[in-house]
Structure 1
Amino acid sequence: MPSLSPLPFLLSLFFLPHLSLSLSLSREGLSLLQAKNSLADPGDALSDWNPLDSTPCNWTGVTCGSASLAVTSLDLSGLDLAGPFPSALCRLPHLSFLSLASNELNDTLPSSSLLGCSSLAYLDLSQNSFVGPLPTSLPSILPDLVHLDLESNNFSGDIPPSFGQFPRLRILSLVANQLTGPVPSFLSNVTSLRELNLSYNPFSPSPFPVSFANLTQLRILWLAGCNLVGPVPPDLGRLSSLVNLDLAYNSLSGPIPESITGLSSAVQIELYVNSLSGTLPRGLSNLTALRFFDASVNKLSGHLPEDIFLAPNLANLQLYENNLVGLIPRSISRCKNLADLRLFSNQLDGPLPSDFGKHFPLGFIDLSDNFLSGEIPASICDGGVLSELLLLNNSFSGSLPQSLGRCTSLTRVRLPNNRLSGEVPPAFWGLPHVWLLELSGNFFSGSISPAISGAANLSMLLISDNQFSGPIPEEIGALSNLFEFSASNNMLSGPLPLGLRYLTKLGELDLHNNSLSGELPQRILSWKKLSQLNLADNDISGGIPPELGVLPVLNYLDLSGNRLSGEIPMELQNLKLIEFNLSNNQLSGGLPPLLATQTYQNSFLGNPGLCGEWTGFCPSPRGVNPDRHVFVWLLRSVFILASLVLLTGAAWFYRRYRNLKKAALGTDNPEWKLTSFYKLGFSEEEILASLDEDNVIGSGASGQVYKVVLGNGETVAVKKLWGTSKKNDIFQSFGDGFEAEVEMLGKIRHKNIVKLWCCCTNLDSKLLVYEYMPNGSLGDQLHGAKGGLLDWRTRYKIALDAAEGLSYLHHDCLPPIVHRDVKSNNILLDAEFGAKVSDFGVAKTIGKGPKSMSVIAGSCGYIAPEYAYTLRVTEKSDIYSFGVVILELVTGKFPMDPELGETDLAQWVCSTMEQKGVESVIDPRLGLCFEEEIRKVLDVGLLCTNFLPPNRPPMRTVVKLLLDVAPVNKLKPPLKDLNPSP
């Protein structure tokens, strides 16, 4: 017998175990590996899909049957996988559940890619980037399908007729795609349907399909934003199993049919933002399961029916912005579960029932902008859960009930512009959770109670235009969160409390037209966020504290009509003031040189002892006393000597401070890393040495901003990002890829994007060094007291500049960049009022498709509706936000202006134009010289804020539309003569 060679034998011992392991992996495991190889997996989410395993049952997302170990379920949602649909998954013969939701799958979805998936009962491909038509053969390929979710993709074209042939389908969701054609009536053939959601697609105008009434097993019907027109068909009442009906954001007209009261199982009915008219149907009390009814923003008229409040489970009733008249029925007191009532912007009148709120758990009430009268019921908070009380712009009278002082659940109270009177209950001032207390425009009297110290959460205290008297209590200094205190046009007296200087978050202080006396508070360096100070028309005396001149963001200062004396501090010329008035005081001496310009020529009138540079401003001297000359010379000599001593001491102190600052910041720490994107004329040491509180010019969610004047005379803005202890940490927004994101932003080269010079980082701090924009933000300029300085030509040029910056981000960057926080405060203005987009703290690259985020980023009033709904990041979100900026430029209003009530700016513009015409929304400060251009730009803003994302034009088109309004070569230089050099 021949002898065996030892080498092959040893090799076989080594390879056979691995070969057997590979061969032991089931065919299903190999199919899964093939599917993995067809996908991009940037996060390595499928790293445990190991070909050496004997079974795939323990792999991420894989579930096997307990007996056969066959793959029955695959959930790969939210793993950032990219590529086409992995057709290899259809080689899993027992696969019944497949979810690939919230990934970045793209390409088309042909029917052939799903061949072999005949066992699927559940298919979820939502929130991806699939394009092209819906697969027409889906019903025949997937006969057992029960759940189909294709929401938030880019499928286009008509819904194929074959979709009416699913034999067992119960749930169909096609929301937020780009589907066209009419809403198809043939879907009524799928009689097994329990849920049908076609919302937010740009369907062609079509009536509500009457045949949908045949879907008798339907529990959820969502057709919001589907371009439905015509009446709501009476046959809708046949859907007796319907639990949730949403027909909002359409163009439905006519009355709400009486048959809707036949929806006996309905819990939620939403009919808002249509053109429905007529009266509410009687018989709503038959809806015994109804908890939520919203028919707001229609043209409903008539009285509120008594029986609407007899629906035993009604918890949420929203009928705002209609034409409802008459009384609020007394039957409301029998509505045992009512928690949310919104009837604002109607024509309701009369008093509230005396037991209003006594028998139901009212949490939110908004009856603003009606003609309601009588007293506020004492029982309004008897349920103990009232959080928001909004009764503004009515005719309520009498005093505030004492019971409101015990309503500790309140967070927001708005009662302005009524006829309320009497003293405010002391306990009401100190409600612990209220952040907004607005009592302006009433006849309240009495004093502000010291109990206000208990209002620890109070941010806005608005009590102007009343008859409050007495001193402002010292206890107001305990309100550490107070941002705005407005108490103008009252009868307050006594000195300003010293406690005011402890309010470190104070941004606006308006106490004009009172009887306040004493001197201005000293040591106010803690007012780092104060932008507006108005103490005009009081009886304040003494000097102006020099500390006012070092407040970093103060741009509105009115101290006129007092008894202030002495000289104007030189420090005031450091301020960038858009409103400045020291008129009608007793000031004397000379003017600070930078304030002696025509810009402020009306700021010093009525001060007989004040010298200026204009003819007739100071009385001419009649003679010269030589002894006075000698005295003045001696006085100046002493002053010069003292100044030299002071400057020498200050220089020594500054050097010591700078050395200590360097040590504290770690400038000698070798861990500091400078990443530059341009050739720099400065070092990180020069930047770090200037980061002290005196140079702070702003603070936001992502960090604090400093103005730094370099040794070469240039000025930069330095953003120091908050540390990791901050809730809104910028590092969390950027994630682990902070350096990569900053490098990407550093490569941006565009005239309408703020230039990022460099960044400095170490283990504890991150600094971003930007070019300095001397005219601040568009928000400051537009909404400040001198917003009229922004004439139409300037506003138009700002809109065009910002549009070009965003167009560059969306269309010229690879990958494209979505800003996610476009707003007027993030559009900065250079010395010539050229606009540049800034603050990329939450910007994201979107690669080949949209990306879903875990939280909403952005600012209130600017966030696109679908973004809040889907958390889906696309460039359409930026376009909506930019549209809001255009509406700001045209109207001059804030996106969430108190004058708008509870609606945002986009809704207000649309409804006001419809009711009163376009002239009523244009900022009256603009005049009528450019009315045609303003109308065209307004149309662009309305296009950008279209409710349906597909209907919003891309930014390139926005730029072209704006250019078509007024060609650039016809533009006049903005603000050319408004700010001449001194």
Structure 2
Amino acid sequence: MLLFLLPFLFLLSPSPSFSLNQEGLYLHQVKLSLSDPDSTLSSWSDRDTTPCSWFGVSCDPKTNSVTSIDLSNSNIGGPFPSLLCRLQNLTSISFYNNSVNDNLPLDISSCQHLQHLDLAQNYLTGTLPHTLADLPNLRYLDLTGNNFSGDIPESFGRFQKLEAISLVYNLFDGIIPAFLGNITTLKMLNLSYNPFSPGRIPPELGNLTNLEILWLTECNLVGEIPDSLGRLKNLKDLDVAVNNLVGNIPISLTELTSVFQIELYNNSLTGELPRGLGNLTSLRLLDASMNDLTGPIPDELCRLPLESLNLYENQFEGNLPASIANSPRLYELRLFRNRLTGELPQNLGKNSPLRWLDVSSNKFTGEIPATLCAKGELEEMLMIYNSFSGQIPQSLSDCQSLARVRLGHNQLSGEVPSGFWGLPHVYLVELVNNSFSGPIAKTIASAANLSLLILDNNLFNGSIPEEIGWLENLGSFSGSENEFSGPLPVSIVNLKQLGSLDLHGNLLSGELPSGIDSWKKMNELNLANNEFSGQIPEGIGKLPVLNYLDLSSNRFSGKIPLSLQNLKLNQLNLSYNRLSGEIPPLFAKEMYRSSFLGNPGLCGDIEGLCDGRGKGKGEGGAWLLKSIFILAALVLVIGVVWFYFKYRTFKNARAIDKSKWILMSFHKLGFSEYEILASLDEDNVIGSGSSGKVYKVVLSNGEAVAVKKLWGGVKKEGDESDVEKGQFQDDGFEAEVETLGKIRHKNIVKLWCCCTTRDCKLLVYEYMPNGSLGDLLHGSKGGLLDWPTRYKILLDAAEGLSYLHHDCVPPIVHRDVKSNNILLDGDFGARVADFGVAKVVDSTTGKPKSMSIIAGSCGYIAPEYAYTLRVNEKSDIYSFGVVILELVTRKLPVDPELGEKDLVKWVCTTLDQKGVDHVIDPKLDSCFKEEICKVLNIGIHCTSPLPVNRPSMRRVVKMLQEVVPENMPKTAKKDGKLTPYYYEDASDHGNEA
């Protein structure tokens, strides 16, 4: 009987899921609707009676009713769960920094009690729902860092209690609407970093009398700053920087008596600073830099309790008011690139914790104030391009906080204080173009952080101390045109980070120390115009990234090491030494003639470098007759060859152009345009596209070059190439020449020269035997590319792009980064190529010049580019991220195999649903899985939909370098090194270091 009743007793017993209250059931359904890869919501169990103990859930202690949901930084995804609005007492929702996606639903208006809504840093798209304004109690709305687009809804003018709204970093493209001036309850209005259409600051914003923060940075604002903003008596922070505002700064802003921060930088404001700034008794920060402001800096401004004053890149004149030294809180003073004169106040820094000082590029005179570091907090002292005189104050020897010192291009003199050489935190010391004298003190051994030491064009003397070899972080040492003497210290070979050593124009002597081959990051070595002797060390030929070598005007003797042929040099100069013997075969060419002048003992196949000394008279006469016969034979042979090539060139020229060719070279050439033209026949075509054809041309010296032939005019309809869609070929040619003609980097393809006629243009590049990464990766041999090789290619390409973004002045945006534009040499070293649509960043605005059409390749184009036609370095980073995913998966960016998804979406979806093993190319060895996964994560990071979330290219290089596999075969490394050194430009504001 008992057995018979057991099933019924079980049915009557309460189920665990039935014990959870109604609000818990709603939240459990929300959990099921969200993706939760980190199991953040594991505590949301249907075995509880209420959700009040669940992660992120807060309840009223009396009623146990849910009042707040906070799932910030939880790595959850999926559409916004409207079901939350059924929680009748819910007042706060925060999904900050997650992967909430899709549109924000219209029925969010049913959250009638909601006061706080934070959905910042997610992936929400589409237009803002107009129903948000129907939330009667909403006080705080933060939608920063999403992909919302279109206009701000007109209904937003009806908010009843809204106090804070932030729409920063979205894709809104209308204008800033005047109806926002109707939300009189607002205390914070943040609309920065949106691609709004050009528009004025609405004068109606002056109605927001409760406003405390107005943030309109980079909103494409035009016109003048409206006087009505002076009515915002409660305003504490005014930021309208990085726009196109013009006219004077309105005097009404001097009525903002509560303001503590005003940022007007990077506009086109004119006139003088308005009188009455002394009324702003709360002002702590004023930044009006990068405008066209004139006149003197008013004394009343300097009497305010300023902490930061930035007025750089204007046209201010006159003396700096002495009262600036009395500001008790001043920690930042930046006045560079103005027309200021006179002396700096001699007690500057005595009464304030001065941390950053930059008065570069003015007309200041007098001595450096001895009190600059009186409070012991000075970190940056930048005073280049002035007329300062006298010595470096002894007091600065005790400034332990100093990190950057730039005193170049002044009239400073005397010895540098001993303690100044050994400051422990300084990483940049630049004293170039002064009259400093004396030696480098041995105390430099204490400068453990020193990375850049630049001493050119002074009167420094004495020997370079042995202690300089103790500076493990030293990457660049430049001391040219001084009076240094004695040998190089033996310890200098211990500088593993050294990438540039320039000591030309000194009195250095002796032999070069052994062990030079330890400089694996050396890029530039210039020891010209000294008194060095002995033989040129073989080890120089083992420096893997050296591309500039100048040992001219010394006393080197013996033979030229054959190992120098291993180097890929842009500059070689061994002239005016005492070298002898045969010139290495690779250098025995006319193009290297000037590299070997002034070495009487050298012989080679270069005319004039072997004079036949030491022969007897009879032998000399026989040699003369023999020479005449040889010369006659050569003339005959050359004549026949010349006639053959002229005839062949004539035939080809008829097919190309009968007009005269103009040659423009960017490097020393060992060939002429006629030799190129003679080989442009169909047998030598190695590639073709809508822009023309690419030929492989083998020169008479045995070397090969690649020639791209571009025909003038617009691309034909139906062409498959997507590199310059809708562009004229002339534009691509000009961009390629303008960009590549100036660049010197081992990971950027070298442009030898260009040849032009009226109708045809030729670009001559170095030949890359392994073709493009795209062709190799997706061709029949793609599966043979092992992981170490793929990793090396990625790192090389990343360093090339990093050079474009960070080391070129101005920076260059490639705009068409893809695997087909990454070329591979014989050792699978990568070069970034095809700059036909590259854009130089405008030096005045910091932005690339305007675009009228989308350039780039399908599958590689960043999402914001398609919306806004605005492109910057972040667009290149997205494209490079796609290349990373391409190398890891060996799948095309757009492929029928992926369905309707592109590669980025396919990778993200497959990772979520199936795991990483279904993403990685199965041809890759599983022993590298950990490293591959790290690189895959970098690719995903680079392809973030939000530009602000993508790392800089310099950061990408750093992340890739941190993934160097320990078990990578040494054969995959070049000379055992995968991370070549690049000189980080020490200059600021475009001034050369």
After TM superposition, is the score higher than 0.5?
yes
- 1:348–1:372 CA contact under 8 A, matched in 2: yes
After superposition, the Cα gap between the structure-2 partners of 1:746 and 1:755, relative to the gap in structure 1 and judged at 3 Å, is farther
Aligned partner of 1:691 in structure 2 is none
Contact 2:452-2:986 at 8 Å conserved across structures: no
Name the CA shift for 1:398/1:756 in 2 (closer, same or farther; >3 Å): farther
| Aligned partner letter, 1:138 | L
Letter aligned with residue 605 of structure 1:
L
Aligned partner of 2:953 in structure 1 is: 858
Q: Answer whether contact 1:757 1:771 (CA < 8 A) is retained.
A: no
SS of residue paired to 1:349: strand
2:549 corresponds in structure 1 to 557
Identify which of 5, 8, 13 aligns with 1:9. Answer: 5
Taking every aligned residue pair, what percent have the same amino acid on both sides?
48
Partner of 2:106: 111
Cα pair distance change 1:551/1:266, threshold 3 Å = same
Which residue of the partner structure matches residue 73 of structure 1?
68
CA deviation profile, 1:833-858 (whole Å, cap 9, x unmatched): xxx9x996863337997369989553
CA contact (8 A) 1:757 1:770 kept: no
| 8 Å Cα contact 2:941/2:950 also seen in 1 | no
- Which position in structure 2 is the counterpart of 1:165? 158
- Counterpart of 1:284 in structure 2 is 277
1:481 is displaced (CA, Å) by: 1.1
Deviations 1:129-169 (A, max 9, x none): 322222112222x1011111122222222222221111111
Instruction: Please state whether the residue corresponding to 1:77 is helix, strand or coil.
Output: coil
Q: How far apart, in 1, do the equivalents of 2:315 and 2:255 lie?
A: 25
Whether contact under 8 Å (1:199, 1:223) holds in the other structure is yes
Aligned twin of 1:248: 241
- Could you tell me which of 339, 361, 364 is aligned with 2:331? 339
Measure how far apart 1:75 and its partner are: 1.2
Which of the numbers 130, 133, 139 marks the counterpart of 1:136?
Answer: 130
The answer to whether the 8 Å contact 1:524/1:547 transfers is: yes
Q: Verify the 8 A CA contact 1:274 1:297 in the aligned structure 2.
A: yes
Contact 1:457–1:479 under 8 Å retained in 2: yes
Change in CA separation of 1:250 and 1:363 when aligned onto 2, cut-off 3 Å: same
For residue 786 of structure 2, what is the aligned residue in structure 1?
758
- The aligned residue for residue 257 of structure 2 is 264
Rounded to whole Å, the distance in 1 between the matches of 2:942 and 2:8 is 48
Matches for 1:601-640 after TM superposition, within 5 Å: 601-621=593-613, 623=615
Once the two structures are TM-superposed, the CA of residue 757 in structure 1 deviates from its matched residue by: 1.5
Deviations 1:505-551 (CA, angstroms, capped at 9, x unpaired)? 11111000111111111122321211111100001111111121212
1:607 Cα deviation (Å)? 0.5
* Residue 91 in structure 1 maps to residue 95 in structure 2: no
The answer to whether 1:450 aligns with 2:442 is yes
- Amino acid across the alignment from 2:132: L
Name the stretch that deviates more: 544-553 or 330-339: 544-553
Change (3 A) 1:756 1:532: farther
Aligned residues: 731
The answer for the alignment partner of 2:938 in structure 1 is: 843
CA offsets per residue over residues 544-577 of structure 1, 9 Å max, x none? 1112121222221111100111111222222222
Measured in 2, the distance between the counterparts of 1:28 and 1:904 equals 63
Contact 1:350 1:373 in 2 (8 A): yes
Distance 1:778 1:363 in 2: 33
Q: Which of 830, 835, 841 is the aligned partner of 1:799?
A: 835
Partner of 1:922: none
Q: Partner residue of 2:52?
A: 57
Give 1:438-517 correspondences, 5 Å limit: 438-517=430-509
Conserved? CA contact 1:408–1:433, under 8 Å: yes
1:202 equivalent in structure 2: 195
Are 1:580 and 2:572 an aligned pair?
yes
Partner of 1:685: none
How far apart, CA to CA, are the structure 1 residues paired with 2:935 and 2:27? 39
Structure 1 position 435 matched with structure 2 position 435: no
- CA, structure 1 residues 432+805, in 2 after alignment: closer, same or farther (shift >3 Å)? farther
Q: Name the residue aligned to 1:707.
A: none
**Closer, same or farther: CA 189–862 of 1 in aligned 2, 3 Å:** farther
Letter in 2 for 1:798: D
What is aligned with 1:145?
A: 138
**Superposition TM-score, scaled by structure 1 size:** 0.68
Q: What is the distance in 2 between the residues matched to 1:570 and 1:530?
A: 19
For the 8 Å contact 1:581–1:602, the answer to whether it is kept is: yes
Secondary structure of the residue aligned to 2:179 is helix
Contact 1:528 1:552 in 2 (8 A): yes
Note the 1:154-233 alignment, pairs <5 A: 154-233=147-226
CA–CA distance in structure 2, aligned partners of residues 585 and 286 of structure 1? 70
Aligned 8 A contact 2:79 2:100 in 1:
yes
Contact 1:169 1:190 in 2 (8 A): yes
Q: Which moved more, 1:46-55 or 1:95-104?
A: 46-55
1:810 to 860, 866, 871: 860
User: What are the superposed Cα offsets for residues 269-325 of structure 1, whole Å, 9 maximum, x if unpaired?
Assistant: 10111111111122222222211111111111100000111112x101111111111
Match in the other structure for 1:833: none
Across the aligned residues of Structure 1 and Structure 2, the Cα RMSD in angstroms comes to 4.1
* Equivalent residue number for residue 529 of structure 1: 521
TM-aligned CA distance change 1:16 to 1:610, over 3 Å: farther
CA distance in 2, matches of 1:66, 1:386: 52
CA contact (8 A) 2:799 2:957 kept: no
1-structure distance, mates of 2:139, 2:546: 62
Q: Distance in 2 between matches of 1:622 and 1:44?
A: 87
- Once the 2 structures are TM-superposed, how far is the Cα of residue 43 of structure 1 from its aligned partner? 3.5
- Give the corresponding residue for 2:905: none
Q: CA deviation at 1:598?
A: 3.9
Query: 2:818: which partner in 1?
Result: none
Amino acid corresponding to residue 243 of structure 2 in structure 1: N
> Which whole-Å CA distance do the structure 2 matches of 1:503 and 1:285 have between them?
53
Over 3 Å counting, the alpha-carbon distance change for 1:394 and 1:205 in structure 2 is same
- Aligned counterparts of 1:823 and 1:116: Cα–Cα separation in 2: 43
Secondary structure of 1:296's partner? coil
Change (3 A) 1:598 1:46: farther
Cα 1:775–1:152 change in 2 (3 A) is closer
**How far off is 1:13 after superposition?**
4.7
Residues 895 and 181 of structure 1: CA distance in aligned 2, closer, same or farther (over 3 Å): farther
Whole-angstrom distance in 2 between the partners of 1:602 and 1:24: 91
| Mapped partners of 1:419, 1:841: distance in 2 | 53
Distance 2:530 2:375 in 1: 43
**1:902 and 2:897 matched:** no
Q: Is the CA contact 1:757–1:769 (under 8 Å) kept in the aligned structure 2? A: no
Are 2:375 and 1:383 aligned? Answer: yes
Instruction: For 2:606 and 2:579, locate their aligned partners in 1 and report how far apart those are by CA, in whole Å.
Output: 17
Any gaps of 5 or more consecutive residues in structure 1? 627-697, 701-713, 718-744, 761-765, 785-789, 828-835, 864-893, 906-982
CA distance, structure 2, for counterparts of residue 192 and residue 357 of structure 1: 42
Cα displacement (A) at 1:80: 3.1
The letter for the 1-side match of 2:835 is: A
Q: Deviations over 1:321-379 (max 9, x none)?
A: 11111110011122111000111111111111121221111100111111111111111
| Aligned counterpart, 1:658 | none
**Whole-Å separation in 1 of the counterparts to 2:567 and 2:991:** 33
Name the CA shift for 1:8/1:44 in 2 (closer, same or farther; >3 Å): farther
Distance (Å, rounded) in 2 between the aligned partners of 1:747 and 1:69: 63
Corresponding residue to 1:25 among 13, 20, 38? 20
Is the 1:821–1:859 contact (alpha carbons within 8 Å) kept by the matching residues of 2?
no
Which residue matches 1:370?
Answer: 362
Query: In the alignment, which residue of structure 2 is the partner of 1:400?
Result: 392
Other structure's SS at 1:331 match: helix
Partner of 1:82: 77
